[in-house]
Structure 1
Amino acid sequence: MKKIIHWSFLYFPHLGGISTHIDSIVRNIPEYGFEVITNQIPGTSKVEKYSDNTQIKRIPPLDYVHFPPKWMKRKYSIPYGVYSEFLRTLKQKRYFQNADFDVLHMHETDKNIFNLDIFLNTNIFSKLSCMNYDLDKIKKPKLMTKHFMFAEGYLHPKFEEWERHSFNSFENIIFPTKYGYDKYTRYFESTNQEKNVYYIPNSVDTTYFNYNSLSNDSKLKIGCVARLSPEKGQEFLIEFLKKIPDDVDFYWACSGSEKMIENLIQIFDKPNIHIFPNFKYEKIHLFYHKFDLLLNSTMIIANDRVIPESMACGRPVIAIDVGEHCHVQQDKTGFLIQPDINELMQLINAIKDDRERLEKMGLNARTLIENKFSNEVIIPKIKKVYDQISE
């Protein structure tokens, strides 16, 4: 039996994002054994048997950066974060050097720590994070999935520099976005770097994210899943909240600062505006069933799971046209618009009474996800990569 090690700084099966990606792989390749190496967090054991073919190993020290205890003052979290990340990385790399496995599959580091370098005007966190990617002593096949393209949302030169450095120890790289694949295929060719580069989009569990017909209610219901941040269209969404007509309901699963979300709830206290603070991912499929149409307000080229997940549930999508949308096909599975609130309002007025059109687009969306982006289609492509690089 082949053994694959997944390395990710944070792993919870129902956390969404990278955790969902790893979970989809281990559940859909039962003939392989898997280990997930991740940070130890408060309230978890160091070793956990997740399934018949998967074991989770959480490496100390405890990760108080992402899960700070109430007793830890903010001013202590940064020095503790530096110390704990350094020590944890050393332990993880020593483990890989001695472990028996066929492929080490890395899922990049935490992008947020680079903001600390910019805020503090240092290189501490960039250099510390780059240590994670210096893996030359590990001679077995190594694979990285580049989930996030830093350069799109974070234009500071530090991110571009780090992004390129992160590829040095990896001969095999998966990009879930076509933009990332094209960009770095050109870069590797221009710098004479021999890499095996793959474009494999994220997959969707089409059983969990099941098709559900639109409601019979004549009132249009629009949903959104977005955190409060500029790249997720925070200002655009706030402008939308100001202009939502009374005959349209809006459901927003909003993550971010609890104080900021509470302020929004108080300011936009209207019967047709429903804001759900820090909605739990394990219930997100039920959230998609609440509305007829998803509004994705992301302002950068990103790897948003909410688009294919909601489409699997039969929901067409309105998305900002930022240059790449492999799921949203204009007037077939959704609508691409400019980041112009007036254009959005005109579109809503044009479609809000045409439920037959939305229902048909929802069926198109479901069919597209089933045929091109389901676990059954995508996971065998990842398995094929494992097989090719471990021969």
Structure 2
Amino acid sequence: MTPEESALRRQEIAEKRERLNRLLQSLKLDALLVGRRDNFAWVTAGGDNHVALATETGEGYLLVEPDRWTLVATNIETPRLTREELGDLPVPLDVEAAPWWQGVELTIERLVKGRRVGSDTGVAGTPNVAAALRELRLPLTVPECQRIRVVGRQASEALEAVMTRELAPGQTELELAGRISRALWERGLEPTVVLVAADDRVRQFRHPVPTARAVDRYVMGVVCARRGGLTVALTRLAHFGRVPGDLRARHEAVCRVDAAMMAATRPGVRVADVLEAGARAYRKEGFGEEWRLHHQGGAIGYANREYLATPDGSQVVTAPAAFAWNPSITGTKSEDTILVGANSRDGIEIVTAHSPAWPTVEVEVAGQSLPRPGILELARSRASG
């Protein structure tokens, strides 16, 4: 970690300690026990406590108190966690290393006995305050905005590199998903979602888990990618040969819906009103019922979506915050991750912006231009390799 990165981490953790200490006071708790991967990453400004990928809870807990933190993990995990994840933590840190054959629960029971301790997992009978912790994750801090910009740029680079250079007719969706995952891992990004659809599966399914289906002409690639806990989402579409006129028209329509939702995402605005702006745009484009066929996205950060926008939701757009809207019209979709209010009160910044080599659909909305990724046309004669 560079000196600049260390300074940003100290700044980020200082702000989070203030939020955590206010939460302790409001809940009348002595401490919080943090074990979920998302919350561990949030609390530590990017620390990673996982071993197995397919888990929400990691292999180490932090007991967060106002004046010091305690790492609780087995003797297998404490060396890596203390050196690589918590080594420059700007908080006094104690370490409780439990024998691996015993696990951590007995140690946790000893540490919380007779005290008012909440947790994000309910471990050892502690009250589960995960919902309250999740609310602390917004708004983003300035260092988090800087980190998510890098994640967004590299995630876009990874997906587009595969779609432009490695995609070929005859590949299976599974093969393409593997190539996309490899490109993300090579950039230090963990794939939390990789969806691939070929040809008619793009029309049939909004969440197309990849299969052995071979690509003929049309492909959709969707990813959520994470590093340091922060996640971005994006979708790209490619077509071998000229894009049919009806498909092009549908895609340009969904791009206009996406831009309308982006433009409506302003600090202080009800998220339900952003969804309504999208619904109006669907109606204007002649696809008034399509929004009912798939969720339209919502806030993003330490989860693939911190929450989804719903017509009756009570959430309000905070600043700064990240959002990933994903409107779809049968057979096409538009999705990127934006930062709202990071540079100015109302500014929108597309952190997963497509490269100049990717085709663009220019959309004018609310007095600004919001470029959306078009459908990439590829030569039909490509050979798989």
User: Counting helix residues as a fraction of each chain, which structure ranks higher?
Assistant: 1
TM-score (norm. length: structure 1): 0.26
User: Counting strand residues as a fraction of each chain, which structure ranks higher?
Assistant: 2
TM-score (norm. length: structure 2): 0.26
